Structure 1
Amino acid sequence: MKRKHKSLSMVEKVELLKKLGKGMSVKSLCEYYGIGSSTVYDLKKQRKILKFFAEHESRNSLIARKTLEGARSSELDSALIKWFKLRRSEGLLSISGEMLMEQARIFHKELNLTYQCEYSQGWLQKFKCRYGISLHKVSGEKRNADTEAAANFVDEFAKIVATEKLLPEQVYNADETALSWYRMPRKTLAQDIEAAPVGGKDCKDRV
């Protein structure tokens, strides 16, 4: 039977090369990874994969990656990831995909790049994949719930219902909706190598 074509991820390619370097036979590697011997010999010639892997910051992003193909402009890519890291180090709590795309357009003009690029969602996904960037929820201030006050209110509420002889259909909950116009979003883009993003106290300015 003809063997089904299999594409190895960057992580698998690095593992294969390391095993090959330690003396594991080509036949054993073919059986383990389900590939042909020609694939092993081709990878053996691509020693730059090991250098690429060693220099890459995020290992998680390499799990799904299968080629060494980089950005169309390494200069823009370098400027954008430096900008992203700087904004994160300054404590900017929320960086969205739209902000990254807009900053890429700015760098495109500043670098006088001649090719056309829309910097769409497709471009954004590839950029995030290259640098192990994903969407994270920003943790707010940690506070313990006042369970004692909640338990006391249950007893107090039961007394009110009994005293006023309220029926179930007379008991309901009402709430309000407010626009916190100065509050930062609770999600941000961050690299996988970062610690979980932690926010501060939310601004209460609202309508």
Structure 2
Amino acid sequence: MSPQKKRSAVTLDVKKAIIEAAAKNNSQTQLAKQFTIPRTTINDILRKKDAILKAIDGGGESKRARIKTGKYSDLEQALLCWIKTVRSENVPITSHLLMEKAKETSSLLKIEGFKASEGWRMNFKHCHLITFKSNQGEAGAIDVESLGKWQQQVLREELAKFSPDDIFNADETRLFWQLLPNKTLAFKGERCTNGKKSKERITVLVGANMSGTEKLPLLVIGKSAKPQCFRNAHVLLNNTANKKAWMTGDVFKMWLENWDKKLKKDERKVLLYVDNCTSHPPKIVLQNIMMNFFVPNSTAMSQVG
């Protein structure tokens, strides 16, 4: 007696092809012969064609055989439609936004007992093949060997001259306050584009000491010298302005000289490390601040070195 041949699962791709072929008036017998699938299986697929097409339209994996449905299928279908609509406009979707939308939708659908938990979120993403995607930038070239020598032979020697409380690092960061996230929930295989990015921004200079016990007051550089949001407000930061909201050599010099005066009054000397960008002029006369520069393109690695 010959062993029984094991039946292979029919993927969603094949099921879709069968449904499309049936729409062209092919009989079930013809379909069974064409796809080498039993007629009973063909009949079952055509009987469930609406559910199969719905699963495919909802992002079902083409190689999957079974249709996975969650406990809250109506809610999940509504969320899938929302994700498709939002992503068609290149709007990023975060996990937090998804959870809030799920809560809102469950309330509108009057679904009782639903909790937008981490477990539900993970299952939803796994079931519907949703992943996080992001656009990655490029880092500058770094000579790791030369950097290591500089850290061992120069940086350590300079740091040894000061207490960790008196060793500071300062750097600027750009805050694009109208910019959408560059990471989004998306279906596998989906091409992600962000569309035109907003260039509205401010520049913020932040600084802290090596021991983590002291943070320097923020310096905010915007386009307005007297922002409306600061009116009648007690602001715990310094602010200045220029047309492009950028750090400039003059602004950096002013900030350093003001800090140097305060340190002189406190009879305190500090070591400050910054990167060597053009807005950090090296020839600034300071009495209580010893300013040094990181090796080019090594700021991120030196900060944690």
| TM-score in terms of structure 1 length | 0.54
2:98 to 100, 104, 107: 100
Higher relative contact order (CA 8 A, sep 6+): 1
Question: What's the CA shift for 1:186?
Answer: 4.1
Q: What are the superposed Cα offsets for residues 114-170 of structure 1, whole Å, 9 maximum, x if unpaired? A: 23444434454435744x643211356x9xx8x9xx9xxx9xxxxxxxxxxxxx899
Cα distance in 1 between the residues matched to 2:18 and 2:33: 12
1:15 to 14, 17, 21: 17
Q: Which residue of 1 aligns with 2:250?
A: none
How many residue pairs match? The answer is 176
Question: What's the CA shift for 1:198?
Answer: 3.2
Cα distance in 2 between the residues matched to 1:128 and 1:179: 39
Structure 1 11/96 Cα, relative in aligned 2: closer, same or farther at 3 Å?
same
Structure 1 191/22 Cα, relative in aligned 2: closer, same or farther at 3 Å?
same
Would the aligned equivalents of 1:26 and 1:37 in 2 still touch at CA under 8 Å? yes
Q: 1 or 2, which has the higher helix percentage? A: 1
Q: Which residue of 1 aligns with 2:194?
A: 198
Aligned pairs (5 A) from 1:16-35: 16-19=18-21, 22=26, 24=30, 26-30=32-36
Would the aligned equivalents of 1:137 and 1:186 in 2 still touch at CA under 8 Å? yes
1:138 to 135, 138, 151: 135
Structure 1 110/194 Cα, relative in aligned 2: closer, same or farther at 3 Å?
same
Q: What are the superposed Cα offsets for residues 150-194 of structure 1, whole Å, 9 maximum, x if unpaired? A: 9xxx9xxxxxxxxxxxxx8994257x7979695775422134686
> How high is the sequence identity, in percent, across the aligned residues?
19
Unaligned runs of 5+ in 1: 155-167
Aligned pairs (5 A) from 1:1-207: 1-19=3-21, 22=26, 24=30, 26-30=32-36, 36-48=38-50, 52=54, 56=57, 58=59, 61-64=61-64, 66-67=66-67, 69=69, 72-74=72-74, 76-77=75-76, 79-81=78-80, 83-84=82-83, 88=87, 92-93=91-92, 95-126=93-124, 129-130=127-128, 133-138=130-135, 171-172=149-150, 186-191=182-187, 195-198=191-194, 200=197, 205=204, 207=206
Q: RMSD of aligned C-alpha atoms?
A: 4.8
Residue identity in the other structure for 1:101: M
Q: 1 or 2, which has the higher strand percentage? A: 2
For structure 1, which segment, 109-118 or 97-106, has the greater mean C-alpha deviation from structure 2 after superposition? 109-118
Would the aligned equivalents of 2:52 and 2:67 in 1 still touch at CA under 8 Å? no
Question: What's the CA shift for 1:80?
Answer: 3.2
Residue identity in the other structure for 2:150: Y
Would the aligned equivalents of 2:11 and 2:64 in 1 still touch at CA under 8 Å? yes
Structure 1 197/125 Cα, relative in aligned 2: closer, same or farther at 3 Å?
farther
- Following TM superposition, the consecutive aligned residue runs of length 4 or more in structure 1 with deviations greater than 6 angstroms are 176-179
Would the aligned equivalents of 1:14 and 1:49 in 2 still touch at CA under 8 Å? no
Cα distance in 1 between the residues matched to 2:11 and 2:170: 48
Structure 1 101/41 Cα, relative in aligned 2: closer, same or farther at 3 Å?
same
Structure 1 114/192 Cα, relative in aligned 2: closer, same or farther at 3 Å?
same
Cα distance in 1 between the residues matched to 2:194 and 2:86: 15
Would the aligned equivalents of 2:132 and 2:184 in 1 still touch at CA under 8 Å? yes
Cα distance in 1 between the residues matched to 2:76 and 2:204: 37
Q: Which residue of 2 aligns with 1:165?
A: none
Unaligned runs of 5+ in 2: 156-168, 207-305
Structure 1 18/11 Cα, relative in aligned 2: closer, same or farther at 3 Å?
same
